[in-house]
Amino acid sequence: MKEKRNIFSILLDDRHRARTISYTMVAVAYIILEVMLKSGNLSSLFTGLLVPATCYLVAAIGLNLNVGVSGELNLGQAGFMAVGAFSGVCVSGILKGAVPAVPRLILAIIVGMLLTAFVGFLIGIPVLKLQGDYLAIVTLAFGQIVMNLIMNLYVAIDSTGLKVSFVENNFELQTGGKYLINGPMGATGTERIANFTAGTLLVVFALVVVYNLIYSRNGRAIMAARDNRIAAESIGIDIAKTKMMAFVISASLAGAAGALYGLNYSTMVASKFDYNTSILILVYVVLGGLGNINGTLIATVVLFLLPQLLRGLQDYRMLIYAVILILIMLVTNNEYLKTKFSVLRRKKA
């Protein structure tokens, strides 16, 4: 029997066009927004949304690699963002005063990314032994575990150095000392060093990584393992290894996004990165089209900004997202519509 995987609408014949469109969209959006920002034509509400939007873009591009390209449902992307966010906040807090803001931001993002990649690798070892629904539910469990662990983590710094404690909050800080992570209260007193330019550069970085990976030996192996596991093994592809690659890269992009996100707010609680945030990112990816990066870009921006700008929609936002998820799945898997679409596509070609 042939496996049905037709929801993956990867336009491989238009590969170069897809990439060009992505980079052009990002560049045009950046220039317009930056000009408006510098000339003071952007409302403070909108200005405040710019960095978070780029963070969600990066996390969503990463998740699309995992769900769309690798075909494994990951319900713990927010957990990886949390790892990046809190490690990034710590790095920035520790280096405050010693390193200027820009290199400190870069360093925080790099550390957040690498640490998350490592955490992703550790989690990936058990997770990727599973398939399908089980894999999804375990990523969900891990997301919850990560969030719970961070909520019990205490990190503080004072003149005597860095203090780390788990569950027990028993530091006796010297004067001038402060908490970087304060258990359930999360990160407090973070210096806000994130900015829109850094966010845009991170989006470009994510695009470069994902596109270059997809159109390579490793990317083909990842998609082969998704389309037909047994056939992929029969031509010598190590499934665990290729899935791990997609999983770790996806996680590390979420970690980088998290670091930027954490450094954009003076306070941040771990529960911000709960299951709902993971689902939110998943909605962006699903609406944009699994495996379709341009779709992810557009869907993320529209779904992130629209409800914020149309306040009336705010209450109904989540309900609308839920309906979107269901309808997209019903429409893209409808046999009648699918044949209609393939007829259209053939006519075009």
Partner 1 sequence: MSDKKTPVLEVKELGIDFGGLTAVNDLDMSIYNEEIIGLIGPNGAGKTTVFNLLTKVYNPTRGSIIFDGQDTAGKTVVDINKAGIARTFQNIRLFDNLTVLDNVKTGYHNNIKYSPVSAVFRLPGYYAKEREIEGKSRELLEIMELSEYADVTAGNLPYGAQRRLEIARAMATEPKLLLLDEPAAGMNPQETEDLMRMIRFVRDHFKIAILLIEHDMQLVMGICERIYVLNYGTLLAQGLPAEIQSNPEVIKAYLGD
Partner 2 sequence: MRFLSNLINGLGLGSVYAIIALGYTMVYGIAKMLNFAHGDVIMIGAYVAFFALTRFAVPLPLGILAAVVCCTVLGVVIERLAYKPLRQASSLAVLITAIGVSYFLQNGAQLLWSASPKMFPSIISSGAIELGGLSISYLTLITIATCIVVMVCLTLFINRTRTGSAMRACSEDKGASMLMGINVNQIISITFAIGSGLAAIASVLLCANYPTVTPTLGSMPGIKAFTAAVFGGIGSIPGALLGGLLLGIIEILSKAYISTQLSDVIVFGVLIIVLLVKPAGLLGKNIREKV
Q: Decide if residue 209 touches partner 1 (CB under 8 A).
A: yes
Give the strands of the sheet with 153-158, arranged side by side: 161-166, 153-158, 178-182
Candidate residues 69, 136, 222, 251; the one interacting with partner 2 per rule CB under 8 A: 136
Candidate residues 59, 232, 286, 299; the one interacting with partner 2 per rule CB under 8 A: 286
CA dist., res. 217 & res. 170, Å (int): 51
Looking at residues 46 to 75 of the shown chain, list those that interact with partner 2 (rule: CB under 8 A): 67, 71, 73, 75
DSSP 8-state assignment for residue 174? P
CA dist., res. 205 & res. 195, Å (int): 15
Q: Decide if residue 10 touches partner 1 (CB under 8 A).
A: yes
Candidate residues 110, 213, 298, 320; the one interacting with partner 1 per rule CB under 8 A: 213
Torsion of CA 7, 13, 14, 19, to 10 degrees: 80
Alpha carbon 66 to chain centroid, angstroms: 10
What's the residue count for the chain? 349
- Pattern of binders to partner 2 over 240-279, x per CB under 8 A? -----------------------------------x---x
Looking at residues 227 to 246 of the shown chain, list those that interact with partner 1 (rule: CB under 8 A): 227-228, 230-238, 245
Nearest to 202 by CA among 16, 61, 48: 61
Q: Decide if residue 224 touches partner 1 (CB under 8 A).
A: yes
CB of 38 to partner 2, least distance (A): 38
Q: Decide if residue 3 touches partner 1 (CB under 8 A).
A: yes
Nearest to 78 by CA among 153, 122, 139, 149: 139
Q: Decide if residue 17 touches partner 1 (CB under 8 A).
A: no
Q: Decide if residue 134 touches partner 2 (CB under 8 A).
A: yes
Task: Residue 245: name its binding partner from partner 1, partner 2, none (Cβ under 5 to 8 Å by kind).
Answer: partner 1
Looking at residues 253 to 292 of the shown chain, list those that interact with partner 1 (rule: CB under 8 A): 291
Q: Among the candidate windows 18-26, 87-95, 128-136, 185-193, which touches partner 2 by CB under 8 A? A: 128-136
β-strand 153-158 against 178-182: which pairing, if any?
Answer: antiparallel
151: phi then psi, degrees, rounded to nearest 5: -65, -15
DSSP 8-state assignment for residue 13? G
